[in-house]
Amino acid sequence: MVEQTAEFTTRPWTRYSRKERWIRFAIYFITLFAVVWAIRDIDIFWPWVWDAPTQIQNLGGRMWPPEFEAWSAILNAMLETVHIATLSTLLTIFIALPVSYIAAQNTTPNRLTLWIGRFILVSSRSVNTIIWALLFVAIFGPGVLAGILAVMFRSVGFIGKLMGEAIEEIDRRPVEAMEATGASRMKVVLFGIVPQVMPAFFAIVILRWDINIRESTVLGLVGAGGIGVLLQGSIDTFAWQTVATILLAIIVLVLVGEALTSLLRKKAL
């Protein structure tokens, strides 16, 4: 006992134990090594790096002042962007709800459907909207439909996953009570589960709509409709002042979307 105290008092204070220190050094070393490797190996033409600030300033100069001549075309494209976001969010709901039902552990009929549901959700989320758009443009040709489908395929994973989690968190007792009275499966879902997940549903859909507006602004870069088509066209023709206007319009759209969704969230929930 006494010896122990003596040992404690003579031991110098350190923040980390020996093992922790070694782990920290190892992490620092690995990070440093990775940085050196990445910088040496990456295919960058270094003179361009030193030149970059000038080039970016140059580009900014060419954009100023924004030119508002094409405002009606921009407005139309904006409207199309909003339509793509809204339609795809609305349509996604019909796919995402059944998928979330089979992907939730407490409602899925059996293990196989659970894994099918999980697989749909994961594969939808791990492919980006732009990549989905690339695929649908190849299939259906450039245009709005490819954009809507791309945003839909991406949103299914998002809405389905969050809804599945909401379903897994419900209070089981109303469901059990209804099952005990002999209610059919349909009725249990309609009266036992749906009312419990309704608030979560609206919150998730509103959130996704907000995200989809941002996603829809870039679809046009691969030819899938919306403001991106106009943006790509202006860049290709070096109409930098129009590009500036489009960028301003996108900022306004995103801010309006954000304001609208926060208002909706406050009102509806």
- Integer Cα distance of 10 and 32 in angstroms: 36
Question: Closest CB to other proteins among 4 and 182?
Answer: 182
Question: Closest CB to other proteins among 102 and 246?
Answer: 246
Q: Using CB under 8 A, which of 7, 8, 12, 44 touches other proteins? A: 44
- Do residues 239 and 247 lie in contact, with contact meaning Cβ atoms separated by under 8 Å? no
Q: Using CB under 8 A, which of 24, 30, 112, 128 touches other proteins? A: 128
Size, binding site for other proteins by CB under 8 A: 57
Q: Using CB under 8 A, which of 144, 163, 197, 205 touches other proteins? A: 144
Determine, following the binding rule CB under 8 A, whether residue 141 of this chain makes contact with other proteins. Answer: yes
What is the CB neighbour count within 10 angstroms for residue 12? 4
CA 220 to chain centre: 18
Question: Closest CB to other proteins among 1 and 139?
Answer: 139
Determine, following the binding rule CB under 8 A, whether residue 26 of this chain makes contact with other proteins. Answer: no
Determine, following the binding rule CB under 8 A, whether residue 200 of this chain makes contact with other proteins. Answer: no
Interface mask toward other proteins for 147-186; x: CB under 8 A? ----------------------------------------
Which of 197, 214, 113 is CA-nearest to residue 162? 197
Task: Tell me which stretch binds other proteins (CB under 8 A): 2-10, 106-114, 121-129, 160-168.
Answer: 121-129
Determine, following the binding rule CB under 8 A, whether residue 259 of this chain makes contact with other proteins. Answer: no
- Do residues 147 and 84 lie in contact, with contact meaning Cβ atoms separated by under 8 Å? yes
Question: Closest CB to other proteins among 87 and 97?
Answer: 87
CA 21 to chain centre: 37
List, as own/partner pairs, every contact residues 63-70 make where C-beta atoms lie below 8 angstroms and the sequence separation is at least 24, other chains included: 63/240, 63/241, 63/243, 63/244, 64/241, 64/244, 65/241, 65/244, 66/241, 66/244, 66/245, 66/248, 67/239, 67/241, 67/242, 67/244, 67/245, 68/245, 69/242, 70/230, 70/242, 70/245
Question: Closest CB to other proteins among 86 and 241?
Answer: 86
- Integer Cα distance of 165 and 145 in angstroms: 30
Question: Closest CB to other proteins among 70 and 142?
Answer: 142
Task: Tell me which stretch binds other proteins (CB under 8 A): 45-53, 93-101, 158-166, 173-181.
Answer: 45-53
- Do residues 217 and 229 lie in contact, with contact meaning Cβ atoms separated by under 8 Å? no
What is the CB neighbour count within 10 angstroms for residue 146? 25
- Integer Cα distance of 255 and 210 in angstroms: 10
**Scanning residues 64 to 103, which ones bind other proteins (CB under 8 A)?**
80, 83, 86-87, 90
- Integer Cα distance of 212 and 93 in angstroms: 13
**Residues in contact with other proteins by the rule CB under 8 A:** 34-35, 38-39, 41-45, 48-49, 51-52, 55-56, 58-59, 80, 83, 86-87, 90, 122-123, 126-128, 130-131, 134-135, 138-141, 143-145, 190-191, 195, 198, 214-215, 217-218, 221-222, 228, 231-232, 235, 247, 250-251, 254-255
